[in-house]
Structure 1
Amino acid sequence: MAFRIRSLRTLSASIAGAGILASAAVVGIGGAAHADTAMAPNEAQSLAASIVPADQLASFDQIISHESGWSVTATNASSGAYGLGQALPGSKMASAGADWQTNPATQIKWALNYMDSTYGSPNAAWSFWQAHNWY
């Protein structure tokens, strides 16, 4: 069963209506999670919905959309910032997992931790981003 999610606002309704878990997109046979470097942006957004608190998800989505367009391998040509949350240097994300270069779950966990520890929450990080066009 495949779904096309146009925004995170519709994600919860789609998931609830289908009776599936958001994390299903990255769970393989036997329930083992795996990295997928070819993961589409909407799949990474679905994964984020299973990791980021619901009341913070819209802000998290805004930041990641602006920073990387939900591309796990997004690289800023001038600064070298890397990944979904544009970590600088990208290797900072190794604190969330050795697979930081390719695993969207690792990058989402790192970005969420960064937003929480630096700004207090994704909502606060988004407020900062709106005022400064960076976070």
Structure 2
Amino acid sequence: MSFSAIRRIVSPKKAVTVAALAAGVAGVALGTAPAQAATAPSPSSAQSVAHKMIPNSAQYNAFSKIVEHESGWNVSAQNSSSGAYGLVQALPASKMSSAGSDWKTNPATQIKWGLDYMNSRYGSPVQAWNFWQANGWY
């Protein structure tokens, strides 16, 4: 219903109130629409996913330390200077697409890719963490 149609039905003062209310409701509806940042998994949910994927406590702890240093468990963390992205700061970020098309937002996909990377390059998350401690990167 248009503003002019509302004006014909009710008094001008009520029409303005109704229009303002309608605009406010529309604004609230748009403001609460799911945004990427709003729908990103929380760090605790990403950690929960990692716990399920890495049952060995030593390997999980090493993986967790790397992720904490690299991204703070933020699935959408991005290094503004290098472009590294995600929990494990893949560079280029698109490398993670090999683990799944949802690599930008899914912690399980990022964790899978990170584990594969750590295992293939260092032998395990523990060995990747040892390298990180010695070098400040992995």
TM-score by length of 1: 0.72
Match of 1:98 in 2: 101
Match of 1:83 in 2: 86
Match of 2:7 in 1: none
Bigger Rg, structure 1 or 2: 2
Identity of aligned residues (%): 63
Deviation at 1:44, TM superposition (A): 0.5
Moved >3 Å (runs of 4+): none
Q: What is the SS of the residue equivalent to 1:130?
A: helix
Deviation at 1:108, TM superposition (A): 0.4
CA deviation string 1:39-64 (max 9, x = no partner): 11011101100001413000000000
Q: What is the SS of the residue equivalent to 1:61?
A: helix
TM-score by length of 2: 0.70
CA-based RMSD: 1.2
Match of 2:119 in 1: 116
Contact 2:40 2:76 in 1 (8 A): no
Match of 1:40 in 2: 42
CA deviation string 1:22-50 (max 9, x = no partner): xxxxxxxxxxxxxx942110111011000
Q: What is the SS of the residue equivalent to 1:65?
A: helix
Count of equivalent residues: 100
Match of 2:15 in 1: none
